C-alpha cells in the first residue's frame, strides 16, 4: 500500500511540474518524445534531424524506407502471449519454430537460417536472436540448465518462455534487424540478428488514459479416438503373419480380455482431456506531461489457456517511465518494467518421468475410458507442480546536448528468476514419492557511454561521428535438489532439519540423506566493448558508413580475449540522383554492406582449458551429483575435453538490397540478397576414448547461409474509393551449406546427426526404403560369396524392409544412408491483407512454410510396438493420447516387428513426409467509433479520442500434405513426437479505448 502511495505522489508531482512549465518553449531538446538512447535510433529521431542545418541522420548507409517493421498495435489485438507467436509470418527472414501449443512453453526463432547443427536441445540457445527492449539486451536462461538432464525433453526449472513477459500493449514498435549494417553496432550478441522493441512513451503536451481488453474462447479440437478393439485389430495382421507361439504368449495383457470395459469400453477420454477454455487480457495505462517532464505508467493482466489438461499461463505486468529535463541541455530518464509469470504445466507421463528420472511398471497404459481416466486424475491431484517466473528490467539514463555534441550515459539491468516446486505422491509412483525444488536466476548489468558529433555543411555534406564504450556483466545460477521415498505423502517438502531416529512432531522424519540429490551451477561472463563509427552523406544521394568494434570476453581463453571487427556500408539514392522528375518512381535506392561479427562462447569453461568438475555421472547417467551425499571431483567426461588454443568464432556477412516505391508510393518493394558465412566455430568431435572422453572441442567448422528476403505491398484500389485493400507479401528463401569441419574432415557423425561437407547441416541422415521382401527368395545375394544381403551383420529375411544398398557392397549400414530433406523450411513468410471501408477494418493474415520435411516419430512408434514394449525405457511410455488415431496406417508395409533388424526404426525415409503448410493465422474485423461521422458530431467525442471494437479468430485452418498432426508442432530436430499440444482455434472480442 505504501508503495502505491509513493507512486501516486510521484505521478502528481510530475503532473504539477509539467503544468508549471507547460508553456516553456525554450527547450528544443525535448520537442521529440524522449526515448532511451541507443546507437541505432528509431525513425522518429532520424526524421527530426534529417536535413536541418546542424544535424545529420545518425544512421546512413542503411535502410531508410524499406525496413522490417511490425505493426505492434495490430499485434496486441490478437491473443499472442509470446513475442515469437506475434511475429509469425510478419517479417521476411524470420522463421518461428513452435514445438507445442502449450502456453508458456519454449519456442525458437531463426533469422536467416541457422549456422549451428542441432546435436542436442541446448544447441538452439546459440542460434536465437538478440532481444532489445528500449536498448536493453535481455538475458535468457543459460543452456547449462540442460547439462544434468538424462532425458533431453525439458530443461530443469520452469522451462518457461520468458518472452511471454513482453506485453505488446506497452510496445510502440518492433523492428527485426538482419544485415550487418544494422546489427554490428550491438556487438557479438547480435550475430544471430536483432529484434529491437521500443515501448510506448508519453506524447508531449498530452494526457492520455488508455484501456485495452479482450475476452475469448478456445475451442477444443476434434479427435478420432480408438480403444483396445481397434488396437487389437491393428496388431493382429502382424501376429497372424509373423508371430511364433512364444510371441503369442507375450501378447499384451491389456489387449487380451475383450470384456474389460476399461480398455474395450467407450473411448471417451477426450471428454476429460480436451475442454473448451477461455482467454482474457486487461491493460490500462496513464501518460502525461510536457516538454520539461512527462511520464507513463501501465499495468496489465493476461491469461492464456490451452484446451488440454487445464494448462494455462498467467501474466501480471507493470511498467513505469519518467523523463525530466532540469536544464535545457540535460535530460534524465528512468524506466522499470516488471512481470510475473505463473504457469500451469502439462500432466504428460513422459515429462513427469523425465523429472523424476524413475520409470514405474509400463505394462498397462492409461485406459481410454473417461471414468477410469478420472480415477487417475484424482490421484494426480494429490501432487503439485508450481512454476513461477519473475522478470524485471530497467535503466537510468542521462543525456546531454551541447551544440553539435550529444552525450549519453546509461546504467541498465535485466533480471529473471525461476522457481519450481514439485511433489508426486506414492500412489502414482508405485509406492515411491518424489519431491524437487528449483531456484535459478539470470542477471545482466549494462553500463554504456556514447558520444555523438554532427556537422552539416550547407545541406550538402553531412558528417556524423560516434564513439562508445559498453560493459556488460552476466551471472547465471541455479540450485536444484530432488529426493525420493519420503516417510509419507503428507510431507511434501524436503525437511532440512530432521532426525530420522526421533518421532517427535517437532523433529519430523524427513527424506533420508541417502535419497537426496543436490545440484548447483553458476556461470559468470564479462563483456567489455569499444566502438567507433563514422557516417557521411552527400546531398542525401550517396552515403557511406564505417564501424569498428573491439570486444573482450571473459569466456575466451586468456591469449584470445579480444576480437576486432569492422563493418562497411554504402547507399545510393537513385531517385534523388537521376530520377527527380520521374513520376513512376516515388523512391529508388540501392545499398550494400559487409560486416564481421564475433560469436561468444556460451560457457566459461571454454576459457579455462583442461579442468575438473564436481560430477559423479557418466555418459548414460549424467545426473549423478554425489555418492552417499558426498560430491566428487573428476574430469568433465560428459561435457567433453577442452584444450588450449581455442580462438573466436565469427561470421562474415555480405548484403545487397534495393527498395523502391512506385506510382506515388502506391506500390512498395524491398529485396535483399545475402550471404552469411560463420567461420571457425567450435564443434565437439570424437576423441580420447581411452582417457574417458567421448569428444573434444575444436575450432574449424564453417557454415554458409545464403538467401533472399523480399516484401511487396500495394494499395490496389483508387485512393478516393471508400473501400481500400492493401495486400502485403513477404518471403524468405534460405539454404545453408557446411563448408568445412575441424581438422579438415569431410564428414562427421555425432549421435543421430551426420555432417558432410557440401551438404546442409539441417538435413536428415536416413536409409532409403523401397518396400518389403515378402519371402527369403527375394533377398539379393552377393555373387562373390553367395551370402544374402545383410543389415549390420544380420542376414535379411522375408518380412524385412527393402533398404537400398547405395554402395553395392551387399551390407546395409550407415554407409548406405543419404542426406535428404531439411528440418528448416527453404521458403517461409506471410501474406497480410488489410481492408478498410469507412470505419470498418478487416485483416487477414496467412502464414506459410515450404520445402521442409518432418520425420514422423509418432507413427514410427505406433508400428514399432514390439520393441517399445520389450524394454523399460522412455520409448515404452504411452500417454492417454495413445488412444487417438493420427496418420494413414494403410500406406506402411506390414514388416516382421520381431525382426532383429528393427524394420520400423525411425532413421529411414519411410517416415519422412512433406511438412509444408499454409495457415490462416488471424482473421480480424473491427469498427472505429471515434472515426464515425455520428461520433464526431457527438459531445462524447471530446471525451474519447479512440474507441475501437474488434472480433478476432485465430488458427482457423491449415492446408498441408502432412498426414500426421499439426505440421508446425515438431521438435528442434524436425521430429514429430506427438507431444506437441494443439494450437487451438481461438475467438476473441476486444476493445481499445483512449481518453
* Model pLDDT for residues 482-512, shown as the tens digit of each residue: 888 888 888 776 555 555 556 554 445 667 7
Judged by phi (left if over 0) then psi (alpha if -120 to 50, else beta), residue 593 lies in: beta
Which pLDDT value is given to residue 35? 35
Q: Evaluate whether 903 touches 895 at the Cβ level (below 8 Å).
A: yes
3-state class of 513 per DSSP? helix
What pLDDT sits at residue 343? 95
In this predicted structure, what is the pLDDT of residue 989? Answer: 97
Topology of domain 2-217+276-609+644-756, CATH: Maltoporin; Chain A (2.40.170)
Q: How many CB atoms lie within 10 A of CB 889?
A: 12
DSSP 598: E
Q: Across residues 188-197, what is the average pLDDT?
A: 97
Mean pLDDT, rounded, for 747-776: 95
DSSP labels, 901-968: T-TT-SSBGGGEEE--EEEEEEEEEEEEGGGSHHHHTSGGGGT-SEEEEEEEEEEEEEE-S-SSS-TT
Query: What is the distance between the alpha carbons of residues 710 and 641, in angstroms, rounded to a whole number?
Result: 44
Give yes or no for residue 957 having a pLDDT over 70: yes
pLDDT digits (tens, 9 = 90+) for 193-221: 999 999 999 887 788 999 999 999 999 99
Question: Residue range 39-46: average pLDDT?
Answer: 35
The DSSP 8-state label assigned to residue 303 in this structure reads E
The pLDDT assigned to 614 comes to 66
The Cα 608–Cα 641 span in angstroms is: 11
pLDDT at residue 613 in the model: 73
Cβ atoms of 345 and 389 within 8 Å: the answer is: no
103 to 100, 307, 921, 970, 985: CA distances (angstroms): 8, 10, 17, 16, 14
Q: Is the pLDDT of residue 594 over 50?
A: yes
Q: Which residues of 675-687 are buried (b: 16+ CB within 10 A; e: fewer)?
A: ebbbbbbbbbbeb
User: How many C-beta atoms surround the C-beta of residue 356 within 10 A?
Assistant: 18
- Beta bridge mates, 963: none
Q: What's residue 586's pLDDT?
A: 93
DSSP state at residue 981:
P
Q: How far apart are CA 480 and CA 483, in angstroms?
A: 11
pLDDT of residue 205: 75
The b/e string for 853-880 (b: 16+ C-beta within 10 A; e otherwise) is bbbbbbbbbbbbbbbbbeeeebebbbbb
Q: What is the pLDDT, as a whole number, of residue 873?
A: 84
CB of 17 closer than 8 Å to CB of 30:
no
Distance CA 419, CA 150 (A): 21
Averaged pLDDT for residues 785-798: 94
Provide the pLDDT for residue 940.
56
What are residue 453's DSSP bridge partners?
Answer: 405, 465
Which residues have C-beta within 8 Å of that of residue 6, sequence separation ≥ 6?
A: none
Cell numbers at residue 570, please? 554504402
| pLDDT value for 23 | 34
pLDDT attached to residue 203: 81
- Cα distances from 555 to residues 125, 562, 615, 641, 893, in angstroms, run 16, 11, 21, 16, 52
- CA distances, 449 to each of 31, 134, 323, 471, 530 (Å): 23, 15, 19, 9, 10
Grid cell digits, residue 127: 542460434
Q: State how far the alpha carbon of 27 is from the alpha carbons of 19, 287, 570, 780, in Å.
A: 15, 20, 35, 89
In this prediction, residue 942 has a pLDDT band, given cuts at 50, 70 and 90, of low
User: Could you tell me which residues are beta bridge partners of residue 705?
Assistant: 676, 736
Percentage of the chain beyond pLDDT 70 is 88
The SS3 of residue 809 is coil
Over residues 232-242, the mean pLDDT reads 96
Distance CA 140, CA 393 (A): 12
- Report the pLDDT averaged over residues 689-704: 90
Residue 662's Cβ-count burial label (10 Å; 0-12, 13-18, 19+) is: middle
Helix ranges (DSSP H) in 291-369: 349-356
Q: Cβ(651)–Cβ(677) under 8 Å?
A: yes
**In the block, residue with C-alpha cell 474389460:** 260
- The three-state (H, E, C) secondary structure of 21-42, written as one string: CCCCCCCHHHCCCCCCCCCCCC
Q: What's the rounded Cα separation, in Å, for the pair 867 and 896?
A: 11
Q: What angle do CA 685, 689, 693 make, to 5 degrees?
A: 70
Question: For residue 39, is pLDDT > 60?
Answer: no
The whole-angstrom separation of Cα 317 and Cα 808 is: 64
Quick one: cell of 548? 569498428
Average pLDDT over residues 749-766: 94
Q: How far apart are CA 280 and CA 79, in angstroms?
A: 8
Read off the DSSP letter of residue 789: P
Provide mean pLDDT across the span 407-425.
96
Q: Is 463 helix (H, G, I), strand (E, B) or coil?
A: strand
**Cross-strand partners of 818:** 766
Rounded average pLDDT over 714-723: 91
pLDDT bin (cut points 50, 70, 90) of residue 99 is very high
Beta strands in 361-431 (DSSP E): 384-402, 405-424
Higher pLDDT, 931 or 29: 931
Alpha-carbon distances of 798 from 241, 772, 901, rounded to whole Å: 11, 8, 12
- Name the band, by pLDDT with cuts 50, 70 and 90, for residue 621: low
Beta-carbon count within 10 A of 943 CB: 9
Set of cell numbers at residue 747: 564428414
- Strands of the sheet containing 794-795, edge to edge, are 794-795, 790-791, 811-812
d(CA 540, CA 522): 51
In the three-class reduction of DSSP (H, G, I as helix; E, B as strand; rest coil), residue 500 is classed as coil
- How many separate helices (H) and strands (E) can be counted in the chain? 16, 42
DSSP 3-state of 370: helix
Alpha-carbon torsion, ordered 924, 925, 929, 934, to 10 deg: 160
Three-state secondary structure call for residue 858? helix
Banded pLDDT at 627 (limits 50, 70, 90): low
φ/ψ bin of 637: left (φ > 0), alpha (ψ from -120 to 50), beta (otherwise): alpha
The continuous run of DSSP H or E covering 7 comes out as helix 2-20
**Is the pLDDT assigned to residue 695 strictly greater than 70?**
yes
Distance CA 928, CA 545 (A): 44
CA 383/CA 837 separation, integer angstroms: 54
- Closest by CA to 943, choosing from 53, 170, 202, 211, is 211
Asked if the model's pLDDT at residue 6 lies above 60, the reply is no
Q: What is the mean pLDDT of the chain?
A: 88
- 280's CB contacts (< 8 A; 6+ apart) are 213, 214, 215, 216, 302, 303
Q: Single out the residue of 484, 482, 552, 488 nearest to residue 519, CA to CA.
A: 482
- Cα radius of gyration rounded to whole Å, the chain: 31
- Average pLDDT of the segment spanning 324-336: 95
Residue 669, pLDDT above cutoff 70 = yes
CB of 229 closer than 8 Å to CB of 221 = no
pLDDT of residue 843: 95
DSSP string, 559-591: GG-EEEEEEEEEEEEHHHHH-TT-SSEEEEEEE
Distance (Å, whole) CA 190 – CA 180: 9
Rounded Cα distance, 777 and 720, in Å:
78
Direct distance between the N- and C-terminal alpha carbons of the chain, in angstroms, rounded to an integer: 27
Q: What is the pLDDT of residue 485?
A: 84
Eight-class DSSP state of 558: G
Write down the domain spans for the chain. Answer: 2-217+276-609+644-756, 222-273+832-994, 610-643, 768-816
| Least confident window among 64-73, 142-151, 232-241, 871-880 | 64-73
Amino acid at each position: 500500500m505504501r508503495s502505491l502511495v509513493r507512486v501516486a505522489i510521484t505521478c502528481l508531482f510530475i503532473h504539477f511540474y509539467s503544468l508549471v512549465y507547460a508553456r516553456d518553449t525554450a527547450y528544443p531538446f525535448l520537442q521529440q518524445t524522449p526515448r532511451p538512447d541507443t546507437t541505432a535510433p528509431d525513425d522518429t529521431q532520424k526524421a527530426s534531424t534529417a536535413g536541418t542545418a546542424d544535424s545529420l541522420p545518425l544512421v546512413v548507409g542503411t535502410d531508410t524506407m524499406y525496413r522490417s517493421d511490425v505493426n505492434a498495435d495490430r499485434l496486441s489485438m490478437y491473443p499472442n502471449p509470446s513475442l515469437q507467436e506475434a511475429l509469425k509470418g510478419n517479417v521476411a527472414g524470420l522463421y518461428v519454430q513452435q514445438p507445442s501449443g502449450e502456453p508458456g512453453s519454449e519456442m525458437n526463432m531463426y533469422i536467416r537460417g541457422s549456422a549451428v547443427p542441432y546435436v542436442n536441445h541446448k544447441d538452439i540457445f546459440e542460434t536465437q536472436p538478440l532481444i532489445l527492449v528500449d536498448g536493453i539486451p535481455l538475458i535468457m536462461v543459460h543452456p547449462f540448465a540442460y547439462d544434468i538432464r538424462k532425458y533431453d525433453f525439458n530443461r530443469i526449472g520452469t522451462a518457461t518462455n520468458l518472452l511471454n513477459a513482453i506485453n505488446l500493449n506497452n510496445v510502440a514498435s518492433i523492428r527485426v534487424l538482419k544485415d550487418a549494417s544494422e546489427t554490428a553496432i550491438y556487438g557479438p550478441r547480435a550475430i544471430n540478428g536483432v529484434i529491437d522493441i521500443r515501448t510506448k512513451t508519453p506524447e508531449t503536451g498530452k494526457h492520455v488514459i488508455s484501456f485495452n481488453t479482450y475476452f475469448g474462447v478456445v475451442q477444443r479440437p476434434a479427435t478420432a479416438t480408438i480403444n483396445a478393439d481397434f488396437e487389437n485389430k491393428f496388431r493382429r495382421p502382424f501376429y497372424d503373419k509373423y508371430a511364433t507361439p512364444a510371441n503369442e504368449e507375450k501378447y499384451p495383457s491389456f489387449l487380451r480380455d475383450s470384456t474389460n470395459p476399461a480398455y474395450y469400453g467407450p473411448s471417451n477420454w477426450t471428454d476429460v482431456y480436451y475442454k473448451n477454455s477461455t482467454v482474457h487480457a486487461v491493460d490500462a495505462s496513464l501518460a502525461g506531461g510536457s516538454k520539461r517532464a512527462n511520464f507513463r505508467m501501465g499495468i496489465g493482466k493476461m491469461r492464456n489457456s490451452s484446451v488440454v489438461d487445464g494448462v494455462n499461463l498467467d501474466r501480471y505486468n507493470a511498467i513505469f517511465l519518467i523523463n525530466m529535463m532540469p536544464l535545457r541541455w540535460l535530460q534524465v530518464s528512468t524506466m522499470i518494467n516488471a512481470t510475473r509469470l505463473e504457469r500451469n504445466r502439462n500432466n504428460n507421463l513422459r515429462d513427469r518421468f523425465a523429472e523424476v528420472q524413475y520409470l514405474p511398471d509400463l505394462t498397462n497404459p492409461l485406459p481410454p475410458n473417461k471414468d477410469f481416466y478420472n480415477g487417475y486424475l484424482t490421484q494426480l491431484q494429490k501432487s503439485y507442480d508450481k512454476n513461477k517466473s519473475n522478470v524485471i528490467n530497467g535503466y537510468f539514463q542521462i543525456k546531454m546536448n551541447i551544440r553539435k555534441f550529444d552525450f549519453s550515459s546509461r546504467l541498465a539491468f535485466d533480471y529473471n528468476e525461476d522457481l519450481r516446486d514439485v511433489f508426486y505422491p506414492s500412489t502414482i509412483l508405485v509406492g515411491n514419492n518424489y519431491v524437487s525444488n528449483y531456484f535459478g536466476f539470470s542477471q545482466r548489468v549494462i553500463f554504456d557511454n556514447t558520444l555523438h558529433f554532427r556537422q552539416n555543411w550547407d545541406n550538402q555534406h553531412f558528417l556524423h561521428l560516434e564513439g562508445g564504450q559498453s560493459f556488460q556483466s552476466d551471472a547465471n545460477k541455479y540450485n536444484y535438489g530432488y529426493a525420493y521415498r519420503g516417510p509419507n505423502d503428507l510431507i511434501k517438502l524436503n525437511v532440512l532439519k530432521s532426525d530420522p531416529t526421533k518421532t517427535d512432531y517437532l523433529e519430523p522424519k524427513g527424506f533420508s540423506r541417502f535419497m537426496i540429490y543436490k545440484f548447483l551451477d553458476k556461470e559468470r561472463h564479462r563483456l567489455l566493448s569499444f566502438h567507433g563509427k563514422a557516417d557521411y552523406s552527400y546531398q542525401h544521394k550517396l552515403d557511406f558508413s564505417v564501424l569498428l568494434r573491439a570486444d573482450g570476453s571473459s569466456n575466451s581463453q586468456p591469449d584470445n580475449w579480444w576480437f576486432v571487427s569492422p563493418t562497411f556500408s554504402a547507399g545510393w539514392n537513385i531517385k534523388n540522383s537521376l530520377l527527380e522528375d520521374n513520376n513512376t518512381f516515388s523512391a529508388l535506392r540501392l545499398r550494400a554492406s559487409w560486416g564481421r561479427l564475433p560469436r561468444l562462447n556460451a560457457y566459461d569453461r571454454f576459457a579455462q582449458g583442461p579442468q575438473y568438475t564436481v560430477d559423479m555421472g557418466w555418459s548414460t547417467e549424467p545426473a549423478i551429483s554425489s555418492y552417499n551425499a558426498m560430491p566428487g571431483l573428476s574430469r568433465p567426461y560428459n561435457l567433453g575435453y577442452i584444450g588450449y588454443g581455442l580462438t573466436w568464432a565469427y561470421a562474415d556477412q555480405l548484403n545487397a538490397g534495393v527498395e523502391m516505391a512506385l506510382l506515388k508510393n502506391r506500390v512498395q518493394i524491398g529485396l535483399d540478397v545475402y550471404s552469411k558465412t560463420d567461420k571457425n566455430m567450435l564443434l565437439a568431435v570424437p576423441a580420447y576414448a581411452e582417457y574417458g572422453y567421448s569428444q573434444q572441442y575444436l575450432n574449424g567448422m564453417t557454415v554458409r547461409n545464403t538467401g533472399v528476403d523480399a516484401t511487396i505491398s500495394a494499395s490496389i484500389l483508387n485512393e478516393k474509393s471508400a473501400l481500400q485493400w492493401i495486400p502485403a507479401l513477404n518471403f524468405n528463401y534460405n539454404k545453408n551449406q557446411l563448408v568445412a569441419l575441424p581438422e579438415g574432415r569431410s564428414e562427421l557423425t555425432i549421435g543421430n546427426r551426420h555432417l558432410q561437407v557440401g551438404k546442409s547441416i539441417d538435413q536428415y541422415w536416413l536409409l532409403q526404403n523401397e518396400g518389403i521382401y515378402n519371402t527369403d527368395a527375394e533377398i539379393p545375394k552377393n555373387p562373390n560369396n553367395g551370402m544374402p544381403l545383410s543389415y549390420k551383420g544380420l542376414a535379411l529375411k522375408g518380412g524385412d524392409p527393402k533398404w537400398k544398398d547405395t554402395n553395392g557392397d551387399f551390407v546395409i549400414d550407415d554407409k548406405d544412408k543419404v542426406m535428404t530433406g531439411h528440418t528448416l523450411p527453404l521458403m517461409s513468410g506471410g501474406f497480410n491483407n488489410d481492408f478498410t471501408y469507412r470505419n470498418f477494418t478487416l485483416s487477414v493474415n496467412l502464414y506459410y512454410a515450404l520445402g521442409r520435411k518432418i520425420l514422423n516419430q509418432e507413427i514410427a512408434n505406433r508400428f514399432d510396438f514390439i520393441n517399445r514394449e520389450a524394454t523399460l525405457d522412455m520409448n515404452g511410455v504411452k500417454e492417454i493420447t495413445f488412444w487417438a488415431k493420427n496418420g494413414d496406417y494403410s500406406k506402411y508395409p506390414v514388416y516382421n516387428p520381431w525382426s532383429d533388424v528393427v524394420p520400423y526404426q525411425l532413421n529411414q525415409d519411410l517416415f519422412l513426409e512433406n511438412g509444408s503448410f499454409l495457415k490462416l493465422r488471424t482473421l480480424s474485423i473491427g469498427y472505429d467509433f471515434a472515426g464515425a461521422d455520428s461520433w464526431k458530431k457527438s459531445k462524447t467525442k471530446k471525451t474519447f479520442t479512440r474507441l475501437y471494437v474488434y472480433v478476432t479468430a485465430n488458427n482457423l485452418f491449415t492446408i498441408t500434405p502432412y498426414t500426421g498432426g499439426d505440421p508446425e508442432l515438431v521438435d528442434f530436430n524436425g521430429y514429430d513426437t506427438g507431444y506437441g499440444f494443439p494450437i487451438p482455434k481461438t475467438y476473441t472480442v476486444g476493445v481499445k479505448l483512449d481518453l
